[in-house]
Structure 1
Amino acid sequence: MTTVYVLDGKRINSLDDFYAVVGEAMGCGGYFGRNLDAFADCLRGGFGTPDDGDFKVVWRDHEHSRNALGHAEVIRNLEHQIRTCHPSHRESMRERINEARAGRGETAFAWLLEIFEQEVPGQFRLE
């Protein structure tokens, strides 16, 4: 039987909120990653998803999340990362921050959608 995990998009106002909501819905002990790489790893299995991979994820009220996880959230996250990244990456990160400030480039919401599509294609839908 297919397990269905429901994400409450009204509760998602930042990536930190997303990790908390997805952890509550899908995680083992409330954990389902605290960054994009860990989230992708968790989707691959072993951290709350059924071992047979038979599950679906439904993101309800996704429009609220889409608005909250826009360019401002990209800026917030990249500004945090730039402080700890390798110096050779700082210039490209500054460029990404400037693009986001101009309202261009990917949003944090798009980052998450891409991870869902890469890791669990066909098992995810927006409502």
Structure 2
Amino acid sequence: MSTSNNNKRKRTVINGSHFSNLAGFYEEVSKVLTKDINWKVGTLDGFNDILYGGFGIFENDDEVEILWEESEKSRKDLGFEATKEFYENKIKQGKPFNVELIQEKLNKLIEGKGQTLFDVLLEIIEEHKNIVLILN
């Protein structure tokens, strides 16, 4: 059932079959969420930033619908192993990262209580009340 409000929503698709790691996710969202600008997403903060709008396909107050195709593939690709490696790399790198906080997150992940990268990405999207996410 579609309402007139839904018709005003800008729609875009993130396709999980186009990537298999976080760097690939950043490439995909750079391609589908930004247009004609010389700026690429390369961090979780950068991903959050483009969701505020004004960087590409939508403006700050636009209603947006993101369809995440192949989301189960992404859930696996950005799951435990990828997240563990992500945290371990940050710990190895050290500054400017808060190594203690990252170690805590890694420990929680290993205990089965922490968020995966996929979970973190979903949480970032959900913080933006003007964006509706549909996992497919």
TM-score by length of 2: 0.79
Structure 1 stretches of at least 4 aligned residues deviating more than 6 Å after TM superposition: none
- Structure 1 residue 19, shift from structure 2 partner: 0.6
> Are 1:12 and 2:19 an aligned pair?
yes
Contact 2:64 2:130 survives alignment (8 Å): no
In 1, distance between residues paired with 2:27 and 2:99?
A: 28
Match of 1:99 among 108, 115, 127: 108
Contact 1:32 1:42 survives alignment (8 Å): no
Letter of the 1:58 counterpart: L
Unaligned runs of 5+ in 2: 1-7
Letter of the 1:67 counterpart: K
**How many aligned residue pairs are there?**
126
| Percentage identity across paired residues of the two chains | 29
> Are 1:49 and 2:57 an aligned pair?
yes
Contact 1:5 1:57 survives alignment (8 Å): yes
Unaligned runs of 5+ in 1: none
Q: Cα deviations across residues 51-88 of structure 1 (Å, max 9, x unaligned)?
A: 2413211101100000010111112221222213347x
- Higher mean Cα deviation, 75-84 or 111-120? 75-84
- Higher mean Cα deviation, 50-59 or 33-42? 50-59
> Are 1:73 and 2:73 an aligned pair?
no
For 1:34, what is the secondary structure of its paired residue? Answer: coil
TM-score by length of 1: 0.84
Please provide the CA RMSD for this pair: 2.2
User: Which structure's CA Rg is the greater one?
Assistant: 2
